[in-house]
Structure 1
């Protein structure tokens, strides 16, 4: 009797091990298939654009003529950073809410994340890299240094480009006016008082 019980226990243990092993094997196969499907999906998403989705735009960027091949869905911001190599224009919110990507487009302030590059064939573009004159800082750049108008510096390029636009537009009659017309540029470090002082000082020189 004892021998028969032992055999039954062994058989039960073998069946249990077989079941657990089979379950693990099946689960692993399902997981592997899911991962493979996900990788395939990612690959399809990252694939280069099909022929016909790319076009060439001619731009004058910081005084230099440029012909750039871009996907028709590419923003001006991504074109400047990824295709032209001008990374001074920062990607902040990528939704037009922070102003870190501000550039001058045909002399006007623009959030470059909100406009497509293909919409501006033949345009004049100025980024932070084109503000200094042969290595000599623009008065507004120098004013930002003199008034300590930045901390982490991430928003600074957008602040300076917006400040240039603000001065050119004549919106520097008072600190209140400057704050109003620079309100689209967020400084997460809170250096607003010094930014206003920098713009006001540069406006006097201009």
Structure 2
């Protein structure tokens, strides 16, 4: 499975394919699920439509993913892992940059990620979401952002990286919510204001 918590939660429920053909089928089912969740949202998406999109029988879908929530949790976990890898890559190339520039690159990274994973918003907003998994994800992301900011030059004041990491994580959640808006011009304007607000605040700390 994707994230460690997702693996622990669903290891018993998801059938792991052993043959190459079975693995290819799971990949196709998950790709179909991602497309349908992105288009319809979690609540409106149906397993029947997902199976049809994958040109698979409904029985084949249920064989690997007995419930819609299990499929959504698997997809969401993989996407969170992909976002986590992006944050790690960003940190590896962050040494010597100002915190304001790092934060701006972080939001640029998030924007690219949301374009590449259009179902992320629907999956993140679904109910129910396992609370323990949600807390673990929040802690992991916050720690990664703090590690990124700790590379800033000039360095942030002692203890400020952790505080700003918590704030930036909340702003990222707001950016995700705004990205789901239907009015593209208004959405882009609000996201630009959000980025500028954070950039200006960090520049004031640096100066």
Q: Same fold by TM-score, threshold 0.5 exceeded?
A: no
Q: TM (normalized to structure 1)?
A: 0.24
Higher RCO (C-alpha 8 Å, min separation 6): 2
Which structure has the bigger radius of gyration? 1
Higher strand share: 1
